[in-house]
Amino acid sequence: MGRPDDAVQWLSSDERAAWLAVTALTMKLPSALDAQLQADEGLSFFEYMVLAVLSEQDDRTLQMSVIATATSASLSRLSHTMTRLERQGFVRRGRMPGAGRRTSATLTDAGYRKVVEAAPGHVARVRELVIDAISPAQLKTLRKIGAQVMARIDPDHPGNSGEIAWV
Protein backbone atom coordinates (compact mmCIF):
# COMPACT_ATOMS: atom_id res chain seq x y z
CA MET A 1 0.00 0.00 0.00
CA GLY A 2 2.50 2.61 1.10
CA ARG A 3 5.66 3.61 -0.71
CA PRO A 4 8.87 5.18 0.59
CA ASP A 5 8.74 9.00 0.68
CA ASP A 6 11.23 9.37 -2.16
CA ALA A 7 8.92 7.40 -4.46
CA VAL A 8 5.77 9.38 -3.63
CA GLN A 9 4.11 11.07 -6.57
CA TRP A 10 2.84 14.18 -4.78
CA LEU A 11 -0.51 15.65 -5.77
CA SER A 12 -0.58 18.55 -8.20
CA SER A 13 -2.45 21.66 -7.07
CA ASP A 14 -5.54 20.57 -9.04
CA GLU A 15 -5.34 17.02 -7.64
CA ARG A 16 -4.89 18.35 -4.12
CA ALA A 17 -7.86 20.71 -4.47
CA ALA A 18 -10.05 17.86 -5.76
CA TRP A 19 -8.85 15.53 -2.99
CA LEU A 20 -9.54 18.12 -0.29
CA ALA A 21 -13.03 18.70 -1.72
CA VAL A 22 -13.74 14.95 -1.61
CA THR A 23 -12.36 14.73 1.92
CA ALA A 24 -14.49 17.64 3.13
CA LEU A 25 -17.57 16.14 1.46
CA THR A 26 -17.06 12.70 2.98
CA MET A 27 -16.59 14.23 6.42
CA LYS A 28 -19.28 16.94 6.41
CA LEU A 29 -22.14 15.36 4.44
CA PRO A 30 -22.83 12.48 6.87
CA SER A 31 -22.90 14.96 9.78
CA ALA A 32 -25.36 17.22 7.95
CA LEU A 33 -27.62 14.25 7.16
CA ASP A 34 -27.30 13.01 10.73
CA ALA A 35 -28.35 16.39 12.16
CA GLN A 36 -31.57 16.44 10.12
CA LEU A 37 -32.48 12.86 11.03
CA GLN A 38 -31.71 13.41 14.72
CA ALA A 39 -33.76 16.62 14.87
CA ASP A 40 -36.73 15.35 12.89
CA GLU A 41 -36.86 11.63 13.64
CA GLY A 42 -34.64 10.87 16.63
CA LEU A 43 -32.51 8.59 14.44
CA SER A 44 -28.84 8.80 13.59
CA PHE A 45 -27.84 8.65 9.94
CA PHE A 46 -26.33 5.23 10.63
CA GLU A 47 -29.55 3.96 12.24
CA TYR A 48 -31.53 5.27 9.27
CA MET A 49 -29.19 3.53 6.83
CA VAL A 50 -29.55 0.22 8.71
CA LEU A 51 -33.35 0.52 8.57
CA ALA A 52 -33.22 1.54 4.90
CA VAL A 53 -30.98 -1.40 3.94
CA LEU A 54 -33.40 -3.80 5.63
CA SER A 55 -36.44 -2.11 4.06
CA GLU A 56 -35.07 -2.81 0.58
CA GLN A 57 -35.08 -6.58 1.13
CA ASP A 58 -38.14 -8.59 0.06
CA ASP A 59 -38.42 -10.22 3.49
CA ARG A 60 -36.87 -7.23 5.33
CA THR A 61 -34.19 -9.59 6.68
CA LEU A 62 -30.41 -9.76 6.24
CA GLN A 63 -27.46 -11.37 7.95
CA MET A 64 -25.79 -9.01 10.38
CA SER A 65 -22.48 -9.41 8.54
CA VAL A 66 -24.11 -8.33 5.27
CA ILE A 67 -25.59 -5.24 6.94
CA ALA A 68 -22.19 -4.43 8.42
CA THR A 69 -20.58 -4.65 4.99
CA ALA A 70 -23.32 -2.59 3.33
CA THR A 71 -22.99 0.18 5.93
CA SER A 72 -19.19 -0.02 6.33
CA ALA A 73 -19.59 -0.74 10.02
CA SER A 74 -17.85 -3.10 12.39
CA LEU A 75 -19.98 -5.91 13.77
CA SER A 76 -19.49 -4.36 17.22
CA ARG A 77 -20.87 -0.97 16.14
CA LEU A 78 -23.74 -2.65 14.32
CA SER A 79 -24.54 -4.82 17.35
CA HIS A 80 -24.76 -1.76 19.63
CA THR A 81 -26.98 0.00 17.10
CA MET A 82 -29.19 -3.07 16.73
CA THR A 83 -29.62 -3.18 20.51
CA ARG A 84 -30.95 0.42 20.44
CA LEU A 85 -33.18 -0.30 17.44
CA GLU A 86 -34.51 -3.47 19.11
CA ARG A 87 -35.40 -1.52 22.26
CA GLN A 88 -37.43 0.85 20.10
CA GLY A 89 -39.17 -2.09 18.43
CA PHE A 90 -37.75 -1.32 14.98
CA VAL A 91 -35.80 -4.57 14.44
CA ARG A 92 -35.52 -8.04 15.89
CA ARG A 93 -32.53 -10.32 15.76
CA GLY A 94 -32.54 -14.07 15.38
CA ARG A 95 -30.75 -17.02 13.88
CA MET A 96 -30.93 -17.50 10.14
CA PRO A 97 -32.58 -20.81 9.24
CA GLY A 98 -30.01 -23.19 7.79
CA ALA A 99 -27.15 -20.74 8.37
CA GLY A 100 -25.65 -22.23 11.50
CA ARG A 101 -24.89 -19.64 14.14
CA ARG A 102 -25.24 -16.66 11.85
CA THR A 103 -27.43 -13.89 13.22
CA SER A 104 -29.94 -12.03 11.11
CA ALA A 105 -31.86 -8.83 11.64
CA THR A 106 -35.43 -8.30 10.53
CA LEU A 107 -37.15 -4.96 10.13
CA THR A 108 -40.41 -4.99 12.11
CA ASP A 109 -43.61 -3.32 10.93
CA ALA A 110 -42.85 -0.47 13.37
CA GLY A 111 -39.35 -0.18 11.88
CA TYR A 112 -40.75 -0.10 8.37
CA ARG A 113 -43.19 2.64 9.38
CA LYS A 114 -40.30 4.58 10.94
CA VAL A 115 -38.11 4.45 7.85
CA VAL A 116 -41.09 5.39 5.63
CA GLU A 117 -41.83 8.30 8.00
CA ALA A 118 -38.19 9.42 8.02
CA ALA A 119 -37.60 9.10 4.28
CA PRO A 120 -39.29 12.31 3.03
CA GLY A 121 -37.26 14.59 5.32
CA HIS A 122 -34.07 12.68 4.57
CA VAL A 123 -34.64 12.80 0.82
CA ALA A 124 -35.45 16.52 1.02
CA ARG A 125 -32.13 17.11 2.82
CA VAL A 126 -30.24 14.97 0.27
CA ARG A 127 -31.89 16.94 -2.51
CA GLU A 128 -31.06 20.27 -0.85
CA LEU A 129 -27.42 19.45 -0.15
CA VAL A 130 -26.46 17.32 -3.16
CA ILE A 131 -28.97 16.85 -5.97
CA ASP A 132 -30.07 20.48 -6.35
CA ALA A 133 -26.48 21.72 -5.98
CA ILE A 134 -25.36 20.16 -9.26
CA SER A 135 -26.62 19.86 -12.83
CA PRO A 136 -28.10 16.66 -14.30
CA ALA A 137 -24.87 16.17 -16.28
CA GLN A 138 -22.80 16.58 -13.12
CA LEU A 139 -25.07 14.09 -11.35
CA LYS A 140 -24.32 11.47 -14.03
CA THR A 141 -20.62 12.22 -13.70
CA LEU A 142 -20.82 11.98 -9.91
CA ARG A 143 -22.46 8.56 -10.20
CA LYS A 144 -19.73 7.35 -12.57
CA ILE A 145 -16.97 8.73 -10.37
CA GLY A 146 -18.51 7.14 -7.29
CA ALA A 147 -18.70 3.75 -9.04
CA GLN A 148 -15.08 4.03 -10.27
CA VAL A 149 -13.72 4.85 -6.83
CA MET A 150 -15.88 2.19 -5.16
CA ALA A 151 -14.52 -0.39 -7.62
CA ARG A 152 -11.03 0.32 -6.26
CA ILE A 153 -12.14 0.33 -2.63
CA ASP A 154 -14.38 -2.74 -2.86
CA PRO A 155 -14.05 -4.58 -6.19
CA ASP A 156 -16.86 -6.98 -5.28
CA HIS A 157 -19.42 -4.31 -4.36
CA PRO A 158 -22.55 -4.82 -6.51
CA GLY A 159 -22.94 -1.07 -7.03
CA ASN A 160 -19.78 -0.97 -9.15
CA SER A 161 -21.77 -1.79 -12.26
CA GLY A 162 -23.49 1.56 -11.92
CA GLU A 163 -26.68 -0.14 -10.78
CA ILE A 164 -28.28 0.84 -7.52
CA ALA A 165 -27.26 -1.61 -4.83
CA TRP A 166 -27.09 -1.61 -1.06
CA VAL A 167 -25.61 -5.03 -0.63
So where are the chain's domains? 42-116
Own/partner pairs for 97-104, CB < 8 Å, 24+ apart? 99/63, 102/63, 102/64, 102/65, 103/63, 103/64, 104/61, 104/62, 104/63, 104/64
Rounded to two decimals, what is the model's pTM? 0.85
* CA atoms within 13 A of residue 93's CA, in its CB half-sphere: 18
Residue range 42-116 forms a domain whose CATH class is mainly alpha
Query: Closest by alpha carbon to 81, among 36, 119, 43?
Result: 43
- pLDDT tens across the length of the chain (167 residues): 555 667 899 999 999 999 999 999 999 999 999 999 999 999 999 999 999 999 999 999 999 999 998 888 999 999 999 999 999 999 999 987 766 778 999 999 999 999 999 999 999 999 999 999 999 999 999 999 999 998 999 887 766 555 545 54
